[in-house]
Amino acid sequence: MHENEHEYGDESGSPSKSNRRRWRLAFMAISFTSALRFLAKNVHENKANLLRSLSYVAIDVQPSADDAADEPAAGNEHLSFLDIDAKDLADIVRAKNFDSLMTQYGGVERLVETLETDAKSGINGTDSDLIRRKNAFGANEYRKQPVKGFLSFLFDAFKDTVIIILLVCALLSLGFGIKQHGWKDGWFDGGSIVFAIFLVVVVSAVSNFNQSKQFQKLSTQSSDISVEVVRNGRRHPITIFDIVVGDVVCLKIGDQIPADGLFLKGHSLKVDESSMTGESDHVEISAAGNNPFLISGTKVADGFGTMLVTSVGMNTVWGEMMSSVNRDLDEETPLQARLENMTSLIGKVGLSVAALVLFVLMVRYFTGHTTDDKGLREFNSSKTKFDDIMNVVLGIIAAAVTIVVVAIPEGLPLAVTLTLAYSMKRMMKDNAMVRKLSACETMGSATIICTDKTGTLTLNEMKVTEVWIGEKHLSENSASQISPTVISLLQESIGLNTTGSVYKPSPESNTEISGSPTEKAILSWAVFSLGLDMDEVTLQCDIIQVEAFNSEKKMSGVLIKRRHEQALQAHWKGAAEIVLAMCSNYYDRDGVIRPLNNEERKCIERNIQNMATKSLRCIAFAYKKLQVENGQVDEKNKESGLTLLGVAGLKDPCRPEVKAAVETCIAAGVSIKMITGDNVHTARAIAIDCGILKPGEDSESEAIVEGVQFRNYSPEERREKVERICVMARSSPFDKLLMVQCLKLKGHVVAVTGDGTNDAPALKEADIGLSMGIQVINFVASVSSGKVPLTAVQLLWVNLIMDTLAALALATEKPTNELMKKLPVGRKEALITRIMWRNIIAHALFQVTVLLTLQFKGRSIFGVDEKVKNTIIFNTFVLCQVFNEFNARKLEKKNIFEGIHKNKLFLAIIGITILLQVLMVEFLKKFASTERLNWGQWGASIGIAALSWPIGWLVKCIPVS
């Protein structure tokens, strides 16, 4: 019996038993409604009094004898949609318990009816139906690990050892200060440090909290997959989160199974369950073999089919597994790891400097070499009070610890994180979904991009533009020029050997064609040019066996049996030269079978080659009649001695922006290699269109190779030739993987683009997957004079500016086209380049010179006391950092203001920094230990800091290789 007969009826045309039952119920409901309407009309027209109604009326409708006979003998005859226990059904599918499926639910076909769906048309998909199913069985969403709150990030920031030491010092200073000077004046030193620490911690916590929220959002989007379902007879894509129990999902090679379910129909369906079981062998799924079970999270390895969704969300195997795994969103990228190492190294240097400062200051204080504001010795063993000693000691410890805090550039990893997160956000606006944060960074280091053709370099919008039957070219109106025999065979070949579908709700409505771009193009040609009626072809023939398309064989086949005929027919469709090699005969357009001798074969090969040079993908159709002997078909004969039906040329135009992008990459030193399944001629034409190949380059220069040729090279030959290859045609997934491995062995950072199905091995193997300074001024000043010119609060403020605000300002700089003029950074390149060292050393020398001059000669230059001098040093130091942020925008370009108006956030942060600095100096005297400066002193601070710009310009004149 045909696979759809149980839905509509038997061969005689009579309706099935389940449909007869439905029609009786529908007729009864209509009759009952009509009777009520008649009675209501009668009462209204005769103006009769209405009788008082009963509280309810129960009408017991007994099934007829026919209905009783139609019911199955199994124990689930009264099972309805609401009777199904979601967890029980989920357990049966998870355990792959076929016996329980049969005894409790009557098998797959009965479960389809119970779930009020249809194996061919799916659910009706109305809003009320979807809500009802979600209420009964849940939504296809997973319970996530609880998101860390802001307080957790605050606590993490406080856990830093250095911060804890500084906080202890501040609290002790607060206690001793209040004890010595009272509440009114004693809290300023300790309280100011506590507040400054709290400010640094809060800013860090806010940054990390916002980053975490953004990553959570990105994580949700990265797990959103498009799935094709059938609803109300129509195939259309939906998000994985919208799948409900009862949905009929279409599956093809490479698809991830979106929920737990049962196999309905399909051919050669094999599933890779290694992600769930660890077993690498592919599992064959079929209704006949008592294994119709499909588990979420696994992938379709071969074939195609449809599945009935039985469990979603937390009731699935994948849902349980995902909820128990806490995905680490704060992944560390390679650059961040290198920066962490550098930060650690700088921290050790800072710790050593701090220890030296602590030792020197302690020795100077306790040996009486330091004086107070009145010029008297600070320490006198017999006269100095214990509280005074403790305050000075705590101040020295705080200064030493603060040097450590300032020395460690913890803002660097934050800057990288902010930059990458910002890049991800911008890439998503360009419809580029980044699934791993590190890809944004690693992509910048790529030296070679191995790109797929279809959908990447081309638009993936196929259309049949050229057709040949035998040696004759057909014009647009194909059907009138072809024999009915050939048309009939082509209709069978296209209509039955396809993973696409044709849907036409009514004769008046438009035809909807779905499937892959290639399938859609061929089906569109068959429907509109050859008059293909999918339903008629499906009813006339039974499909016996299907061999799904795979990238190794480059073709797909189907074995069919026509009704009322004993013989079988094998139909093949695939790459033209491969199918042609299997043919011994061909049909001409008059329907005459002719032998394919050398002359005709060369002529057809020439036609295929000419189409390929016009960038057409050539698909050939062939068939063979097979006789059945003792119920068996000779498998070997299916793929030889075929009769060619015709060749179609499909056009997939290049994306208009591709040529410019390829030229930009090549100019930036990034090589582009195109790897495609098309033949050499098509691949060459597309590569020339895209700018990957120059018209003069051909296969003799080894710029183009075929996959089999590359595969057969010795490892030494492969390594020697791989960099010269620009195009690899007729490639398999193994060839692509081999090329990626070979390029990585040669030290390249390799990026791979692909559709994620047959390219999975290569994608997995591929890699794609700030100016800084160290504070030295406090160390020199403290060792030489015994005084630290910048207080703990001031140093923490500088740290906040340099590590956090500057990082945020520079991280949001938009990328410019000039970046593509730089060569990619190799995987072993130094983190700080020579250009960076040039800029860092120059500005560090300038700042140290200025600040030491102010430290030792500032009082005489400005004629001020110690406190005002220290405030000028603090003010100048902060403004130097602000001016240097502009230099850091452009490491090589002399015009550091180019495009600055486009980065509003940068300007806003600079403005906020300056405003806060004015507040610190002019209004927060006791908090920041500053003195108010006059206009001249402000002008001097700004003038000195502004020298960073001309110095930066001059430094960039120094050539660096």
Identical fold at 463-628+636-647 and 792-957? Answer: no
Q: pTM above the 0.85 mark?
A: no
CATH superfamily of 463-628+636-647: Calcium-transporting ATPase, cytoplasmic domain N (3.40.1110.10)
- Low-confidence stretches of the chain (pLDDT < 50) are 1-14, 17, 50-56, 62-76, 326-329, 431, 756-757, 769-775, 777-779, 783, 785-786
d(CA 537, CA 515) in angstroms, rounded, equals 18
Which pLDDT value is given to residue 447? Answer: 79
Q: Are 445 and 745 in contact (CB under 8 A)?
A: no
Residue 452 annotated in active site: yes
CATH number for 437-458+655-772: choose from 3.40.50.920, 3.40.50.300, 3.40.50.1000, 3.40.50.2300: 3.40.50.1000
Cα dihedral: 729, 734, 736, 742 (round 10): -120
CATH class of 792-957: mainly alpha
Which pLDDT value is given to residue 938? Answer: 93
Task: Break the chain into its structural domains and give their ranges.
Answer: 86-115+243-324, 437-458+655-772, 463-628+636-647, 792-957
Instruction: Name 282's bridge partners.
Output: 272
Q: What is the CA radius of gyration of the chain?
A: 39
Digit-coded pLDDT (tens) for 612-668: 888 888 999 999 988 776 666 666 677 788 999 999 998 887 878 888 888 888 887
d(CA 875, CA 277) in angstroms, rounded, equals 64
- Residue 140 phi/psi, 5° resolution? -85, 65
Apex 905 CA angle, 903 and 910, nearest 5: 105
Looking at residue 255, what DSSP letter applies?
P
Question: By three-state DSSP, how is residue 644 classified?
Answer: strand
d(CA 73, CA 639) in angstroms, rounded, equals 46
H helices present in 369-516, as ranges: 386-407, 411-429, 437-443, 484-496
Give the closest residue to 446 by CA, choosing from 822, 749, 829.
749
Instruction: Name 704's bridge partners.
Output: 727
**How far is CA 936 from each of CA 240, 397, 770, 864, 922, rounded to the nearest angstrom?**
66, 35, 33, 12, 14
Query: What number does CATH give the domain 86-115+243-324?
Result: 2.70.150.10
Which pLDDT value is given to residue 434? Answer: 55
> Considering 272, 302, 452, 652, which one is annotated as catalytic?
452
Give the closest residue to 214 by CA, choosing from 409, 428, 413, 410.
428
Q: Are 732 and 675 in contact (CB under 8 A)?
A: no
Apex 574 CA angle, 570 and 580, nearest 5: 80
Cα dihedral: 853, 859, 864, 868 (round 10): 50
Give the closest residue to 641 by CA, choosing from 596, 575, 588, 576.
596
Please name the residues in contact with 785: beta carbons below 8 A apart, sequence gap of 6 or more. 855, 856
Digit-coded pLDDT (tens) for 473-515: 886 566 677 889 999 999 999 999 888 888 777 777 788 887 7
Which pLDDT value is given to residue 603? Answer: 92
Give the closest residue to 882 by CA, choosing from 796, 806, 811, 789.
806
As a whole number, the mean pLDDT across the chain is: 75
Question: By three-state DSSP, how is residue 854 classified?
Answer: helix
Cα dihedral: 831, 834, 838, 844 (round 10): 20
Which pLDDT value is given to residue 307? Answer: 93
d(CA 426, CA 433) in angstroms, rounded, equals 10
Give the closest residue to 878 by CA, choosing from 792, 800, 780.
800
